[in-house]
Each structure stands twice: as C-alpha cells, then as structure tokens.
Amino acid sequence: MRVSVALCTYNGSAYLTDQLASLLQQELLPFEVVLCDDCSTDGTLAIAEAFASRSPFPVHIFRNDRPLGSTRNFEQAMRSCQGDVIALCDQDDIWYPQKLRVLAAVIEAASAGGAFSDGDLLRDNTPIAGTLWKSFGLIGIELETFRSGDAIAVLLRGNKVTGMTLMFRREILSHALPIPEFWTHDYWLAWILVLYSRLIACPEHLVAYRTHAHQQLGIPTRFFVSVRQNGLRRAFHELGERAAEESRRLQLQFEHLLQHLRRDVDTGANAGTVARLEQRVDFLHMRSQIWHHSRARRTVSVLSHWTDYRQFSLKPSKDMLVDIIAATANN
C-alpha cells in the first residue's frame, strides 16, 4: 500500500525538523511527501528543502503565492497526492515509527475507507498527562458507541478525529472535495468517511501531539480570568455569547453537509441519518437564537429540548445551564 503524506506548513521552523525526522524513522516509509507551504516568513522552506535533498523518498514542495489558510492548504496538498492512501501531517508533532505501518494494516484488514489513532500529549517538548482521545472525550461510552457502528452519533456531538492521526484511501476525495466553507478538513473528512465508507478508531498511541503554551487558554481558564477581571455577571455573558456563536457556526456546517448529501445520490446516508442531521440543525438554530428570548421563554425552550441536549451535547447539563443562566445574566 503506497502512502502519501500530505504535510502543510506555515512558519513551522521551531518544530518541523522533529516531525520530518519522525518520517524518516517510519517502519513503512512514505511513497511520497507532498509539502504545501502557506507563505512562511521564517526558515520553514529552508528546512523542507534540506530535508528533500537527503530524503530516501520523493518530497514535492509547493509554495503558495498567497495565504490559503489551513483547510484550503490541506485541500491543495491532498489533491496533489498520488498514493493509495493519504496520511495528513501537521508541522509540529512527532510520529512514532509504527504509525504508517499500523494504520495501513488496519485499513487493509478491515477494508475500511480510513483509520485514526490515539496519541500522547506534549506541551512544547515535555510529555504531559492524559491522551489525545481523552482530551476530546473519546473515551468510555463515546468510544464504545463509535466502535459499535454508530459513529454518526458521536460525530453529531463534535469532532473526535485529529487530522494528524488520520489515514484514508485516496478515492474518498471524489466525495470529499472541495471542502465546504466553515468546515475544518479533519471534521469534514471524518463525516465523509463515515457516510461513504467506514472509519476505524485505532486505540494505539501512534503520535505525540504537541500543544503550545500560548494555545492553552481554554474556556474554563478564560471564564475564571473573566470573573476576576469583569465580575461574575459579565463572565456569564461572555460564556453565553461564545455558546451562541459556536451554535451559529455549527449550524452552517451541518446545513452544508445536508446540502452535500442531497446532491450526491451515491452517499451512504439513509433517511434516518438525514433526519438526525436535520434535527441537529434545528437544535443548533434554537441555541443560536435563545438570547433573543425572555427569561421564561428561554427556560421553557431549554427544558423542552432536554432530549436534544442529551443527544447532541457532550456535557448536556453544562450546556443547558449556559443557555439559561448565562443568557439570564445579561438581563
């Protein structure tokens, strides 16, 4: 099985050397590396070119004339791949030597369209507690649900597939491209693989996923910082604003997915799947508009949709409280 690596870069000189070194250590060497650089202004291209000059496999380097952004850059890289399967690659992670071999074997053994793995976590260069799947909530019942054949139920609650752990058959691109606006490439590919083929969750830790200190300001941290700076009332207001904004963005995503399925007669989505997606869109619309309602109407709306919160939220109780309390705090 010929593996193309689709690697996208942008000002990645700090960690790119480590990632490229891990490609050289693969037990199943890539058939090729397609590297698309999104107008880097540091030493990224020099590192890539030096690597290409000594690599035992072909390295094709493309320099964008203008910035495309991550999703469009990956789309460009995937289109240029010629292997049987494509492995997506970020510039700042580390792949363990067995990564390509294991994922290729999983896909072939299961006759699946794609597979993705778990991984370890790094903060800069230091290992930290936890796993990649745990950080996204793909554990326990969520993982059992995904692996039991109802991956759609899990994806309806959010993306669990990190692009740098994903490998998929190249022919799936005929359904996946172009990637609609508002979607990230990994979440969109996960949906296409589930709807048109089969996506396997491989529990092995095949990567070290690197986080950066400046990226670690998560929502809970922002909330408590806002409480200290602006008071509880304003902090709740900001929390609710983010929930409404996220709901609007997700609504647009799923509307695009429904449009895609309605146009494509080859999709594996049945009427039940379409109905679940339509229900998800209606729920997201409700959440995005809830701020315009009175306190009493908000409370009634949230309580009447409690089954939707259970079906579409990883933390339904939290989201229900946000939609009632955070909005109320603005009145």
DSSP state string for 187-247: HHHHHHHHHHS-EEEEEEEEEEEEE-GGG---HHHHHHHHHHHH-HHHHHHHHHHHHHHHH
**What are 71-106's pLDDT values in tens digits?**
999 999 999 999 999 999 999 999 999 999 999 999
Domain holding 306, by residue range, is: 219-328
pLDDT at 270: 81
Residue 260 sits in the same domain as residue 309: yes
Nearest to residue 28, comparing CAs of 131, 134, 122, 103?
103
Residue 179 sits in the same domain as residue 286: no
Residue 116 sits in the same domain as residue 223: no
Residue 140 sits in the same domain as residue 91: yes
- Could you give the CA distance from residue 198 to residue 38 in angstroms, rounded to a whole number? 31
- Could you give the CA distance from residue 75 to residue 66 in angstroms, rounded to a whole number? 15
Give me the number of domains the chain comprises: 2
Residue 66 sits in the same domain as residue 166: yes
| Contact between residue 213 and residue 124 where contact means Cβ atoms under 8 Å apart | yes
- Could you give the CA distance from residue 152 to residue 114 in angstroms, rounded to a whole number? 15
Q: What is the CATH number of the domain that holds 104?
A: 3.90.550.10
pLDDT at 243: 87
- Could you give the CA distance from residue 238 to residue 330 in angstroms, rounded to a whole number? 9
Query: In the listed set 214, 248, 280, which residue is the last one of a domain according to the structure?
Result: 214
CB neighbours of 60 closer than 8 A, spacing ≥ 6? Answer: 32, 33, 34, 35, 80
Query: In the listed set 197, 214, 231, which residue is the last one of a domain according to the structure?
Result: 214
pLDDT at 219: 37
Residue 173 sits in the same domain as residue 251: no
Residue 157 sits in the same domain as residue 229: no
Residue 324 confidence class, pLDDT cut points 50, 70, 90:
confident
- Could you give the CA distance from residue 42 to residue 14 in angstroms, rounded to a whole number? 9
Residue 268 confidence class, pLDDT cut points 50, 70, 90:
low
**What are 126-170's pLDDT values in tens digits?**
989 999 999 999 999 999 999 998 999 999 999 999 999 999 999
Residue 25 sits in the same domain as residue 80: yes
Residue 182 sits in the same domain as residue 273: no
pLDDT at 173: 97
Query: In the listed set 174, 190, 214, which residue is the last one of a domain according to the structure?
Result: 214
CB neighbours of 139 closer than 8 A, spacing ≥ 6? Answer: 133
Query: With 50 as the cut, is the pLDDT of residue 217 above it?
Result: no
| Contact between residue 34 and residue 77 where contact means Cβ atoms under 8 Å apart | yes
Task: For residue 139, give both structure tokens.
Answer: 């554990």
Residue 186 sits in the same domain as residue 225: no
Beta bridge partners of 201: 116
Question: If you compute the radius of gyration of the chain from its CA atoms, what whole number of angstroms results?
Answer: 21
Q: Beta 166-169 vs 85-89: how paired, if at all?
A: antiparallel
Residue 180 sits in the same domain as residue 312: no
Residue 149 sits in the same domain as residue 226: no
Render 248-261 in DSSP notation, one character per residue. Answer: HHHHHHHHHHHHHH
Query: With 50 as the cut, is the pLDDT of residue 111 above it?
Result: yes
